[in-house]
A = this chain, B = another copy of it.
Amino acid sequence: MSNTKYFITGGAGFIGSNLVDRILSQGNDVIVYDNFSTGIPEYLDNAKKSSKFQLIKGDTLNKKSLTEAMIGCDFVFHLAANADVRFGTEHPSKDLEQNTIATFNVLEAMRENSIKNIAFSSTGSIYGESKVIPTPEDAPFPVQTSLYGASKLAGEGLIQAYAEGFGFQAWIFRFVSILGERYPHGHVFDFYKQLRKHPDYLDVLGDGHQKKSYLYVQDCIDAIFTAIEKSNDPVNIFNLGTDEYVEVNNSINWICSHLGLNPEIRYTGGERGWIGDNPFIFLDCKKICSLGWKPKNTIQEGIIKTLDFLKENPWVLERR
């Protein structure tokens, strides 16, 4: 698509800001809508140099502000969300408000502005503890195991109902964990932060045998545009991941080797890190691959790129 004006909620976040840079590099216009509760202003420094970029500070829970900000846009990427599954049971209303109700507001703002196209960042967490692994898009009807997963499921359902009832076209992406440049959370971030402080030991949540599937952020964005370009149903649902997975211990070895360190590894023990944490999300990605996409980076390469970004941008570690 050329001459498209995109609207991105959560555009100052990890995936959002990478998407902004990609859209601008394609010569298209983009409005970022972000409340900076977790978004990082510096991630938009590059984008701000472009005349095709506009930043609007606002909250997805403010329907009026959201509706006005969206005027004149053609396509909405709804990425803003509470993505912290760990704190789900401490603040149960957070996922409901920031994920479910916010998604409703985005859909209503679109309807008000006669915008019909939406891409949505969902999650592999909505498969709960799937009995089918790798898990395909049409896996057996899942049971939710986290408030985060439940809120994303609710968001998907709303979008699907708007597609049926109001003629919207939707692309829904169920992500594994995404990593790469600008990822300011997760195990690579935590481990590197620890090792900068104390290179001689590393505290690891769980037993290190947790299996994790990751996708590198630029591969993720390639997949998103492949799906939007080539899949044209009213509702298009895609798992996004890779056909490999790693154990946390693999990642520890790659990180330590890349840093030239040999720390003592101190495990907290147990299989799970926290309530609602899925021991293993591993998605069947045949559907997106059938459109000609495949990841250009292995999980190992993604982890090293994440690490290199953090080494080059220590300010990200020192925030707050």
**A interface list, Cβ under 8 A from B:** 88-89, 92-93, 96, 100-101, 104, 107-108, 111, 127-128, 137-147, 149-151, 153-154, 156-158, 160-162, 164-166, 235, 237, 275-276
Contacts and interface: CB of A to CB of B under 8 A. Distances in A.
Contact of A165 (B111, B137, B147, B162): B147
B145 A153 contact: no
A240 to B, nearest CB: 16
A165 B108 contact: no
Given A88-B165, A89-B165, 14 more contacts: A89-B166, A93-B104, A93-B108, A96-B104, A101-B101, A139-B140, A140-B141, A143-B237, A144-B160, A145-B164, A150-B154, A150-B158, A150-B161, A153-B157
| Identical subunits present | 2
B139 A161 contact: no
A162 B166 CA distance: 32
**Interface-centre pick from A92, A96, A143 (highest chain B CB count, 10 A):** A143
A137 B128 CA distance: 15
A138 to B, nearest CB: 4
Given A96-B104, A140-B140, A145 B160 contact: yes
B165 A143 contact: no
15 contacts: A92-B111, A92-B165, A100-B100, A101-B101, A140-B141, A141-B142, A143-B160, A143-B237, A144-B156, A144-B164, A145-B161, A146-B164, A147-B161, A151-B157, A165-B275
Contacts of A89: 165-166
Contact of A141 (B141, B161, B275): B141
Nearest to A157: B150
